[in-house]
Every structure is written in C-alpha cells, then in structure tokens.
C-alpha cells in the first residue's frame, strides 16, 4: 500500500459531506477498496456487485478520490481508474456546541426537510450575492450554518468567505 496523505479539516462545515458520505455502507466499501489499489469503475462494480457511479461522484466531490487514465491493451479504449487520495484525517477547528449541533442537524436531515432553505441560498448566490457576511444577514443564520447548508447543495461550492455556483464538470 502506498503512503497516503492526511486530509486536514480547518472548517467544521467540511464535516457535512464527509459524514454524509461515510453513513453509506456502499460509499465506505468503495473508499476502502480504493485505499488499497487503483481500480476502474468496472473493476469496482465487479467487486461490489452493483453500480458505483454515485459512490465515485460523491467521493470525488468530497475530494477523497484521484483519477488517472488506465491504458488498456492495444485496440481497447482507455478508462479512468480511481484511487483514494487520503488515508488519514486531522481536524483543526473549534466551534460552539450550538454550531456543532447545527452541522450535525444539517448533515443528517433528509434533503426534503431542508430543500427550501438550500434553494433560497442557491437563489441568493445565483442573483450575485456571493459574500458570506451578506448571505448570513439575508438568511438570518450563522456563517457555520450557511456554509454547512451550502455543502448540502449540489450547485454550490464554498470558497473561503464566498459561495459560488459550480461549473458543470464531466
């Protein structure tokens, strides 16, 4: 096994996608397989016995996967293969229990229960409101709450003290 890097988490809202990812047994199994070796989607599906597209997407969104092109035998198409980027995590933050409880609540609430707030945040950002301080005022919520909510949105990316709409990829 190759030596791995340590994922350093300085913002407690970064826990939202990680906790969501690892509450799924399938995503965790895919991550564990990719800790050991580089594998294509086909290799993973053969080992897992199911479609792993969602697992790959979620692990990539969390920044836990790296990919490269696998060169097959001549005459066959190259395929992407994946590998886990990190084997350790180090947290380096302090927050109030109130903030921590909001992070946990936003992580585990069903999407439908917080959908309206996520859509409100997406609308504000789409209309050009990117600043964390003005978004917290507009929504009357704490910065941790707004960042955590943004991390539940497939449309938004947290960039320090700003939010932005994701560009379409792949």
- The whole-number mean pLDDT for each consecutive block of 10 residues of the chain, a chain of 170 residues, reads 78 92 93 94 94 92 89 85 93 94 94 95 95 96 94 91 77
Q: Which of 74, 91, 108 is the last residue of a domain?
A: 91
Q: The tokens 């950002």 sit on which residue?
A: 125
Residues 19 and 73 in one domain: yes
Q: 2 lies in a domain?
A: no
pLDDT computed for residue 169 by the predictor: 44
pTM: predicted TM-score of the whole model, two decimal places: 0.81
Residues 65 and 125 in one domain: no
Q: 170 lies in a domain?
A: no
pLDDT computed for residue 16 by the predictor: 93
Quote the Cα angle for 105-106-110, to 5°: 95
pLDDT computed for residue 38 by the predictor: 94
Residues 64 and 104 in one domain: no
Could you list the residue range(s) of the whole structural domain that residue 38 is in?
7-91
Residues 85 and 151 in one domain: no
Residues 20 and 45 in one domain: yes
Q: Which of 91, 126, 157 is the last residue of a domain?
A: 91
Domain harbouring 56, CATH code = 1.10.10.10
Residues 110 and 69 in one domain: no
Q: Which of 35, 64, 91 is the last residue of a domain?
A: 91
Total tally of structural domains belonging to the chain: 2
Q: 1 lies in a domain?
A: no
Residues 31 and 80 in one domain: yes
Residues 101 and 160 in one domain: yes
Residues 148 and 85 in one domain: no
Residues 18 and 87 in one domain: yes
Quote the Cα angle for 9-103-169, to 5°: 65
pLDDT computed for residue 170 by the predictor: 40
Residue 104 burial (C-beta neighbours within 10 Å; 0-12, 13-18, 19+): middle
């Amino acid at each position: 096994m190759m030596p791995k890097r340590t994922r350093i988490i300085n913002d407690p809202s970064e826990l939202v996608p990680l906790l969501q990812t690892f509450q799924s047994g399938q995503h965790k199994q895919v991550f564990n397989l990719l800790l050991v070796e580089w594998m294509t989607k086909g290799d993973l599906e053969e080992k897992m016995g199911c479609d792993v597209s969602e697992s790959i997407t979620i692990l990539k969104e969390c920044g836990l996967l790296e990919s490269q092109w696998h060169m097959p035998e001549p005459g066959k198409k190259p395929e992407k293969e994946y590998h886990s980027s990190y084997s350790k995590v180090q947290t380096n933050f302090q927050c109030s229990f109130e903030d921590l409880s909001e992070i946990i609540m936003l992580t585990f609430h069903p999407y439908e229960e917080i959908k309206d707030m996520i859509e409100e945040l997406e609308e504000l950002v789409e209309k050009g409101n990117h600043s964390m301080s003005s978004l917290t005022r507009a929504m009357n919520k704490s910065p941790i709450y707004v960042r955590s909510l943004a991390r539940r949105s497939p449309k938004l990316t947290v960039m320090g003290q700003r939010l932005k709409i994701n560009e379409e990829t792949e």
